[in-house]
C-alpha cells in the first residue's frame, strides 16, 4: 500500500501552491476537470512517488489535502 | 439614608451598586469625576477600570466587554461622545447592552465646558451610521440621575441595546442629597455571549451582513424591538391641567428652572403647566396627544438654539403654535427670563 | 490504514474560505487554528476579526468570535480580556487595519501590556477594498492609489511595525515571520503558538507579524507572489524576534 493524498477537489481553487512546493513535482492542475467553483483542481500524477512529506497540505490555504503515510 | 454627592460621583456609585463590572473612559471636562471615581472604586468592587487612549478606543473596549454579558459603562462629554458614535452604531448593530453617561458641554467643536443641551440631536439621532436609536434618559437632578443609571442597565440588558443617560454639565457638577435605591437586577438570556463555552455551539457577535434580504430583515427585527421600547419605556411628567393656557416644555436641569418660571407666571395670572420629557428617545409624544382645550401655546425652552423643539412640533402636528426660547454657549436662563418670554408670547408681543 | 500526517484542523469550521486563490490568509488561519487545538484552548478562544479581507475570519475560526470596527480590534480584545481573563483572546488584523486606522489601538494595547495575542498579517496592500496603498506598501510598488509606484517624497517609507511595537516598554513578545515557504510556515507556527502560550501564562502583549501575499492586488500569480515575499518584502521587513521578554536575545 502506498501513501495516500486525499484531495477535496470541490474546495480546490487551483492556485497551484501545493504543486510549487511539492519536492517530487507530482502535483499538477487537472486541466481536463473544472470544479463547481470554476477552477481546475489539483491532482496527483504519480502517487507512488509521494513521500507523505505533507508540504503540499501545509501550504494549501484551503485545507484541501489530507495526507496519510503507509505504515 | 441620604448622602450629599456630586452628580458625576453619584452616577458612578450608582453604576457600581448596579453591578457594573467594567469602566472604560477617557478624560474630558466636565465628566472627569466619573473616571476618577471609577479608578478609585472599581477594583475594590471586583471590576475593572481602564483609561483608554481615546474615546474611540474606550467605546470599542465597551463593545468587547459587552460581548461577554458583563455590565459595562463609559462616560464622556460632547466631543468625546461624537467620537464614540462609531462604537455606538456597531453596538446597536450587534445588539449589545451598555450604559453611556453623557455629561454635555457647549459646542460645536471644542467650544466651552459650561452646561448646554446642544447634544439633544447627538443623543437622540446619533452620529453613527445606519438605522438605529438608543434609549436616552434625561434626569433633572442627582437623585434621578442615580435612579436612571440603575434603570438603564436593566433596560440595556432587557432589550440588548446601548442606553444613554444624558445630563448637562450643571447636573454633573452640582451636589445634592441622594438615596441609592436597591438596584433591580433581572436575569435575561445570556446564551449569546462569548468566552469559555464548555460544549455549547460557538457564538459570533457581528454586524457585517452583505446579503441585502437578510440585512433588511435584521434591521426590521431591530425596529420591532424599538417598537417595544417605545411602548414600554417612554417616560414623561406633565403638570398641565385643565384651565392652563400655556404648556412649557423642558428637560433636564432646565425643567427645574421652568418649574419656578411657572410659579412666577401663575403669580402674574398666567396659568401654565410643565411637560418634562424624561426619555428623549423614545420621545413622549403621548404628552402632547390630549392636551386640555384651554392650552393655547406651547413654549419649548432649551439650552440650545432649538433641538427638542423639532420633536415637540412633530408631536403637536401643527395643532397649536410651538414657540421656542433658548440660551446657549454655556449661558443658562433664569426662571424670570423664561417667565418673561412666556408673558410676551401670551400677550402677543 | 495509513497514519494521518496532515489533515484540516478542527480549529477551522467547514465554511469554504472566501479568500482569493492562493491567498495566504488561509494558510495563516491554519497555523492559528492548529495552535489553538494543540494548546487545548479552542473552547475558550475568542477571535476578534478586523476589517479588510479577514473581516470574515469569524466564519472560519472554530471558536467564539467578535467582529470589530476598522482598526479597533485591539481595543475590543482589551474589553473582552479584561472582563473575561480566562478567555484566550486574539486579534487577526491586516496592515491597513493595524498599521493605518488602528495604529493608536495597537500601540496602546501594547503600551498597557494587554494579555492578548495579535496576529498581524502584512501583505503591503489593502486587499479587500481593491488594492490601495498601505503604510507597508514598498517603495515603487504600484497600487490602485499609487498608480505610478509608491514615492518616498510624498508618502514616506514603509512602516516597520514589529520594530516599532518592539520599542514599547510593556510589549512582551514581538516576532516577524513569513508564510511563503513550508520551512517558513514551520517557524511561523512556532511563533504563533508561543504568542498564545504567553497569553495562557499571563505574560502580556504578544504580536506575530506574518508576511503574506496578495496576488490579485500585486497583479501576480500566487506562485510569483511567493517569490515577491522572498525577494522584495523580506529584505525590507527582516524576519526575526524583535522582542522577547522571556528570553535574552543574543
Yes or no, beta carbons of C22 and A54 under 8 Å apart: no
- Residues of chain C positioned with their CB less than 8 A from the CB of A53: 5
Query: Which chain A residue is nearest to residue C11, measuring alpha carbons?
Result: A63
Cβ contact B57–C104 (<8 Å): yes
Q: Which of C12, C54, C66, C89 to probe the B interface (max B CBs under 10 A)? A: C66
Q: Does A1 score more than 70 pLDDT?
A: no
Return d(Cα B50, Cα B38) in angstroms, integer.
9
Query: Mean pLDDT of all residues in chain B?
Result: 96
A58 touches chain C (CB under 8 A): yes
Question: Could you tell me the residue range of the domain that residue B123 belongs to?
Answer: 3-185+207-233
Strand partners of residue C66: B205, C48
Whether the per-residue pLDDT at C250 is higher than 60: the answer is no
Is B197 within the bounds of a domain? no
The domain defined by A4-62 folds into: Alpha-Beta Plaits (3.30.70)
What's the mean pLDDT in C121-131? Answer: 96
Q: Is residue B192 part of a domain?
A: no
CB of C76 within 8 Å of a chain B CB? The answer is yes
Alpha-carbon distance C191 to C31, whole Å?
A: 10
Indicate if the pLDDT at residue C1 is higher than 70: no
Residue contact C3–A61, C-beta within 8 A: no
Collapsing DSSP to helix, strand or coil, A40 comes out as coil
pLDDT score of C249:
53
CA–CA distance, C245 with C165 (Å, rounded to integer) = 13
Is residue C45 within 8 angstroms of chain A, CB to CB? no
Provide the pLDDT for residue C2. Answer: 85
* Nearest neighbour of A61 by CB, restricted to C7, C19, C181: C19
The β-bridge partners of C175 are C208, C241
Percentage of residues in chain B having pLDDT higher than 90: 96
> Is C198 within 8 Å of C208 (Cβ atoms)?
no
- B195 within a domain of the structure (yes/no): no
**Residue from B75, B77, B165 nearest B113 by CA:** B77
Count CB neighbours of B183 within 10 A.
19
* Percent above pLDDT 70 for chain C: 98
% of residues, chain C, pLDDT over 90 = 98
Nearest Cα to Cα of residue C29 among C4, C2, C1, C63: C63
Chain C residues touching B42 at Cβ < 8 A: none
Q: Identify whether residues B227 and B310 lie together within a single domain.
A: no
State the nearest Cα–Cα gap between C182 and chain B, in angstroms.
31
Burial class (CB in 10 A: 0-12, 13-18, 19+), C155: middle
pLDDT average, residue stretch B146-155: 97
Chains in touch with C (3+ beta-carbon pairs under 8 Å) read: A, B
* Residue A26 confidence class, pLDDT cut points 50, 70, 90: very high
Distance CA B231, CA B315 (A): 16
Contact (CB<8Å) B70/C84: yes
Mean pLDDT of B85-106: 97
- The pLDDT, as a whole number, for residue B99 is 98
Are residues B50 and C87, on separate chains, in Cβ contact within 8 Å? no
Chain A nearest-CA distance from C133, in A, is 24
Nearest to B80 by CA among B114, B48, B103: B103
- First-to-last alpha carbon distance for chain C, in angstroms, is 46
Chain C nearest-CA distance from A56, in A, is: 9
Nearest Cα to B245, choosing from B214, B219, B224, B270? B270
Rounded to whole angstroms, how far apart are CA atoms C191 and C212?
Answer: 15
| Model pLDDT for residues B268-319, shown as the tens digit of each residue | 999 999 999 999 999 999 999 989 999 999 999 999 999 999 999 999 999 9
- Looking at residue C20, the DSSP 8-state letter turns out to be P
C62 CB near a chain B CB, below 8 Å?
Answer: yes
- Closest Cα to residue A66, out of C30, B18, B291? C30
Q: Any idea what the CATH number is for the domain that residue B50 is in?
A: 3.40.50.970
CATH of the domain spanning C25-244: 3.40.50.970
What pLDDT does C248 receive?
60
Residue B273 exposure: Cα atoms within 13 Å on the Cβ side: 17
Tell me the shortest Cα–Cα distance from C17 to chain A, in angstroms.
7
Nearest Cα to B24, choosing from B14, B34, B9?
A: B34
How many folded domains does chain B comprise? 2
Look at residue B245 in the predicted model and tell me its pLDDT. 97
What is the mean predicted confidence (pLDDT) over C206-212?
A: 98
> Which residue from A36, A29, A31 is spatially nearest to A15, judged by alpha carbons?
A29
Is the pLDDT reported for residue A60 higher than 70? yes
A65-69 vs A42-44, strand pairing mode: unpaired
If we measure between CA atoms, which residue out of B124, B74, B128 comes closest to residue B304? Answer: B124
Q: Which among C240, C242, C13, C32 is positioned nearest to C117, based on CA atoms? A: C32
Q: Can you tell me the mean pLDDT for B178-192?
A: 94
CA B173, CA B241: separation in Å to the nearest integer? 33
Beta bridge partners of B168: B104
Give the pLDDT band (50/70/90) at residue C60.
very high
Q: Quick one: three-class SS letters along chain B?
A: CCEEEEHHHHHHHHHHHCCCCEEEECCCCCCCHHHHHHHHHCHHHCCEEEECCCHHHHHHHHHHHHCCCCCEEEEECHHHHHHHHHHHHHHHHCCCCEEEEEEEECCCCCCCCCECCCCHHHHHCCCCCCCCCCCEECCCCHHHHHHHHHHHHHHHHHHCCEEEEEEEHHHHHCEEEECCCCCCCCCCCCCCCCCCCCCCCCCEECCCCCCHHHHHHHHHHHHHHHHHHHHHHCCEEECCCCCCCEEEECCCHHHHHHHHHHHHHHHCCCCEEEEEECEEECCCHHHHCCCCCCCCEEEEEECCCCCHHHHHHHHHCCCCCEEEEECCCCCCCCHHHHHHHHHHHHCCC
Residue C95 near residue B78, CB atoms below 8 Å: no
Give the mean model confidence (pLDDT) for residues C106-123.
98
For residues B92 and B132, is the Cβ–Cβ distance under 8 A? yes
CA distance C214 to chain B (A): 22
Domain presence at residue B67: yes
Which pLDDT value is given to residue B226?
A: 98
| Chain C nearest-CA residue for B199 | C43
Q: CB–CB of C80 and B194 under 8 A?
A: yes
- Do chain A and B touch: 3 or more Cβ pairs under 8 angstroms? no
Exposed, middle or buried, B85 (CB in 10 Å: 0-12/13-18/19+)? middle
The pLDDT of residue B213 is above 70: yes
Nearest to B61 by CA among B41, B35, B40, B79: B35
> Hey, are the CB atoms on B72 and C55 less than 8 Å from each other?
no
Provide, as residue numbers in chain A, all residues whose Cβ is less than 8 Å from the Cβ of C8. Answer: 63, 66
Residue A19 to residue A60: CA distance in whole angstroms: 10
CA end-to-end span of chain A: 9
- Measure the CA–CA gap between A50 and A44, rounded to whole angstroms: 9
- Residue B200 inside a domain? The answer is no
The stretch B69-73 carries a mean pLDDT of 97
Test C79 with B94 for CB contact under 8 angstroms. no
Verify that B171 and B266 share a domain, yes or no. no
Q: Measure in Å the smallest separation between the Cα of C148 and chain B Cα atoms.
A: 33
- Contact partners for chain B, using 3 or more CB pairs closer than 8 A, are C
Q: Looking at the domain assignment, is residue B196 inside a domain?
A: no
Instruction: Kindly state the average pLDDT of the residues B20-39.
Output: 97
Q: Which of B193, B218, B233 is the last residue of a domain?
A: B233
- Cβ-defined contact of A15 to C3 (cutoff 8 Å): no
What are the residue boundaries of the structural domains of chain A, listed by start?
4-62
pLDDT at B180 over 90: yes
Residues of B in contact with C49 (CB under 8 A): 206
Q: How far apart are the first and last CA of chain B?
A: 49
CB contact under 8 A, B208 and C77: no
Asked if C87 is an interface residue toward chain B (Cβ–Cβ < 8 A), one would say: yes
Identify whether residues B54 and B106 lie together within a single domain: yes
Residue of B264, B261, B283 lying closest to B274 (CA atoms): B261
Predicted pLDDT at B126: 82
pLDDT for C117: 98
Chains touching A (3+ CB pairs < 8 Å): C
Per-residue burial over C39-61, b = 16 or more CB atoms within 10 Å of its CB, e = otherwise: eebbbbbbbbbbbbbbbbbbbbb
β B236-238/B272-277 pair status: antiparallel
Q: Is B67 in contact with C66 (Cβ distance < 8 A)?
A: yes
Indicate the pLDDT class of residue C122, thresholds 50, 70 and 90.
very high
| Dist CA A54 CA A2 (whole Å) | 14
Total Cβ atoms within 10 A of residue C248: 6
With CB atoms and an 8 Å threshold, state whether B195 touches C104. no
- Per the rule left: phi > 0, alpha: psi between -120 and 50, beta: everything else, A25 is left
SS (H, E, C) C92-147: EEEHHHHHHHCHHHHHHHHHCCCCCEEEEEECCEECCCCCEECCCCCCCCCECCEC
Rounded CA gap, B326 and C121, in Å?
53
Q: What are the chain C neighbours of B63 within 8 Å (beta carbons)? A: 66, 68-69, 72, 75-76, 79
Whether C183 has its CB under 8 Å from any CB of chain A: the answer is no
Name the residue of chain C whose CA is nearest to A70's CA. C2
Q: What is the 3 state secondary structure string of B175-191?
A: EEEECCCCCCCCCCCCC
Amino acid at each position: 500500500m502506498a501513501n495516500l493524498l486525499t484531495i477535496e477537489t470541490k474546495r480546490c481553487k487551483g492556485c497551484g501552491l501545493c504543486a510549487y512546493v511539492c519536492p517530487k513535482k507530482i502535483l499538477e492542475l487537472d486541466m481536463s476537470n473544472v470544479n463547481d467553483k470554476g477552477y481546475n483542481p489539483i491532482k496527483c500524477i504519480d502517487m507512488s512517488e509521494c513521500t507523505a512529506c505533507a508540504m503540499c497540505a501545509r501550504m494549501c490555504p484551503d485545507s484541501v489535502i489530507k495526507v496519510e503515510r503507509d505504515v | 439614608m441620604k448622602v450629599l454627592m456630586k452628580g458625576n460621583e453619584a452616577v458612578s456609585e450608582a453604576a457600581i451598586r448596579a453591578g457594573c463590572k467594567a469602566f472604560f473612559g477617557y478624560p474630558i471636562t466636565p465628566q472627569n469625576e466619573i473616571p476618577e471615581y471609577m479608578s478609585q472604586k472599581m477594583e475594590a468592587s471586583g471590576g475593572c477600570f481602564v483609561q483608554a487612549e481615546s474615546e474611540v478606543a474606550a467605546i470599542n473596549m465597551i463593545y468587547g466587554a459587552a460581548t461577554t454579558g458583563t455590565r459595562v459603562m463609559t462616560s464622556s462629554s460632547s466631543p468625546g461622545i461624537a467620537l464614540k458614535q462609531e462604537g455606538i452604531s456597531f453596538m446597536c448593530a450587534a445588539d449589545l447592552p451598555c450604559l453611556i453617561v453623557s455629561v454635555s458641554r457647549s459646542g460645536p467643536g471644542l467650544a466651552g465646558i459650561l452646561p448646554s443641551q446642544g447634544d439633544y440631536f447627538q443623543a437622540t439621532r446619533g452620529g453613527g451610521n445606519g438605522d438605529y436609536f438608543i434609549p436616552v434618559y434625561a434626569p433633572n437632578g442627582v437623585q434621578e440621575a442615580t435612579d436612571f443609571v440603575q434603570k438603564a442597565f436593566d433596560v440595556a440588558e432587557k432589550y440588548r441595546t446601548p442606553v444613554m443617560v444624558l445630563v448637562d454639565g450643571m447636573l454633573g457638577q452640582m451636589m445634592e442629597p441622594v438615596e441609592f435605591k436597591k438596584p433591580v437586577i433581572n436575569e435575561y438570556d445570556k446564551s449569546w455571549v462569548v468566552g469559555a463555552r464548555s460544549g455549547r455551539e460557538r457564538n459570533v457577535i457581528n454586524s457585517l451582513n452583505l446579503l441585502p434580504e437578510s440585512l433588511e430583515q435584521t434591521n426590521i427585527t431591530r425596529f420591532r424591538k424599538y417598537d417595544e421600547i417605545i411602548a414600554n419605556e417612554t417616560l414623561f411628567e406633565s403638570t398641565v391641567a385643565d384651565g392652563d393656557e400655556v404648556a412649557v416644555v423642558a428637560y433636564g436641569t432646565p425643567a427645574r428652572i421652568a418649574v419656578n418660571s411657572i410659579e412666577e407666571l401663575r403669580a402674574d395670572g398666567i396659568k401654565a403647566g410643565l411637560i418634562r420629557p424624561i426619555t428623549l428617545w423614545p420621545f413622549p409624544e403621548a404628552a402632547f396627544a390630549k392636551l386640555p382645550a384651554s392650552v393655547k401655546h406651547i413654549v419649548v425652552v432649551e439650552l440650545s438654539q432649538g433641538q427638542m423643539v423639532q420633536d415637540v412640533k412633530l408631536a403637536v402636528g401643527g395643532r397649536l403654535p410651538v414657540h421656542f426660547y433658548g440660551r446657549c454657549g454655556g449661558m443658562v436662563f433664569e426662571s424670570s427670563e423664561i417667565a418673561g418670554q412666556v408673558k410676551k408670547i401670551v400677550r402677543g408681543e | 490504514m495509513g497514519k494521518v500526517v496532515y489533515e484540516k484542523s478542527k480549529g477551522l469550521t467547514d465554511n469554504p474560505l472566501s479568500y482569493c486563490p492562493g491567498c495566504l490568509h488561509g494558510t495563516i488561519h491554519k497555523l492559528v487554528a492548529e495552535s489553538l487545538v494543540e494548546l487545548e484552548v479552542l473552547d475558550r478562544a475568542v477571535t476578534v476579526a478586523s476589517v479588510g479581507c479577514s473581516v470574515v475570519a469569524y466564519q472560519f475560526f472554530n471558536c467564539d468570535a467578535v467582529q470589530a470596527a476598522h482598526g479597533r480590534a485591539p481595543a475590543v480584545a482589551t474589553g473582552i480580556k479584561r472582563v473575561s481573563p480566562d478567555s484566550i483572546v486574539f486579534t487577526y488584523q491586516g496592515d491597513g487595519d493595524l498599521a493605518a486606522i488602528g495604529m493608536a489601538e495597537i500601540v496602546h494595547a501594547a503600551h498597557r501590556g494587554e494579555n492578548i495575542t495579535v496576529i498581524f498579517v502584512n501583505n503591503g496592500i489593502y486587499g479587500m477594498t481593491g488594492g490601495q496603498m498601505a503604510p507597508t506598501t514598498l517603495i515603487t510598488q504600484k497600487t490602485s492609489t499609487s498608480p505610478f509606484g509608491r514615492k518616498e517624497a510624498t508618502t514616506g517609507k514603509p512602516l516597520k511595525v514589529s520594530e516599532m511595537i518592539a520599542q514599547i516598554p510593556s510589549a512582551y513578545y514581538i516576532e516577524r515571520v513569513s508564510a511563503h515557504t513550508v520551512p517558513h510556515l514551520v517557524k511561523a507556527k512556532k511563533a504563533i503558538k508561543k504568542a498564545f502560550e504567553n497569553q495562557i501564562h499571563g505574560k502580556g502583549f504578544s504580536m506575530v507579524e506574518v508576511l503574506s501575499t496578495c496576488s490579485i492586488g500585486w497583479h501576480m500569480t500566487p506562485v510569483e507572489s511567493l517569490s515577491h515575499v522572498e525577494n522584495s518584502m523580506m529584505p525590507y521587513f527582516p524576519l526575526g524576534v524583535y522582542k522577547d521578554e522571556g528570553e535574552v536575545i543574543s
